[in-house]
Chains A and B, each alone.
With several copies, the nearest count.
Chain A
Amino acid sequence: MTVLYFAHARRIAAVTQEEIPVAAPLSSSNFWDLIIRRHAGMAPLRASSRLARGNDFLPPDAVIAPSDEIAIIPPVSGG
């Protein structure tokens, strides 16, 4: 699985993207547990951020495949 970090998430993770090997499909909740184990500082972003795959926001019940590219989208502030 590839994870993309933006804005505040990128600052906390200190990387723009990383490969995280996963053996089986994940729920969004599993995904966040995994990310927070790797980057404890991400915990406060869990409630406010959304996940995206293939330029779409992930619905809450989506299943994440081991080959997916997932972006963590903190609250946006463009415009």
Chain B
Amino acid sequence: MMHIEILINDTIITPPVRAAHSDVGALAEFTGFVRGEEAGRPISALVYEAYQPMAETVMRRLLTELAAAHPCNSVRVQHRIGIIRVGEAAIHIAVHAKHRAPAFALLAAFMDRLKQDVPIWKTDTFSA
């Protein structure tokens, strides 16, 4: 069973826990930052909002589904909500696996599905 941890909160995203099990050979990570431009206009910050229980449920289901095709040891997803300034991280995902191929595949597929099915929204921007 793949261990899944999901955090959706307004705290600043911290570096991953790197504790490695001796059977873990690979850690693939993705961090998404707020860029200084949204829809062609300069911004200073974004606001993210979540339907929190559903977002967690959908992410957990997606990850379990993806793990069947791409066996990994653990996944940790942290999505920040509230006001996030340019240059700060909005999302961080860490996937630990025995080998790198399933870790990369699960990470990329999860990000694609997240952007289709997980009820989290950019709701506002602050102009720069």
Q: A-side interface residues toward B, CB under 8 Å?
A: 4, 6-8, 10-11, 52, 55-57, 71, 73-74, 76-79
Contact = CB atoms under 8 A, between A and B. Distances in A.
Contacts, number: 62
Contacts of A6: 49, 51, 119, 121
Contacts of B114: 78-79
Contacts of A56: 54, 57
B51 A77 contact: no
Interface residues of B, number: 24
Contacts of A71: 51, 54, 119
A76 to B, nearest CB: 6
14 contacts: A6-B121, A7-B123, A8-B123, A11-B123, A55-B58, A56-B54, A57-B117, A76-B118, A77-B115, A77-B120, A78-B90, A78-B119, A78-B122, A79-B91
Nearest to B51: A6
Interface of B: 32, 48-51, 53-55, 57-58, 79, 90-91, 111, 114-123
Nearest to B123: A7
Given A6-B49, A7-B49, A77 B122 contact: yes
In the A-B complex, the 7 residue pairs with the smallest Cβ-Cβ separation, listed nearest first, are: A78-B120, A7-B121, A55-B57, A55-B54, A77-B122, A79-B114, A7-B123
A11 B32 CA distance: 26
B121 A77 contact: yes
A78 B121 contact: yes
A53 B118 CA distance: 14
A76 B32 CA distance: 16
B53 A55 contact: yes
B118 A78 contact: yes
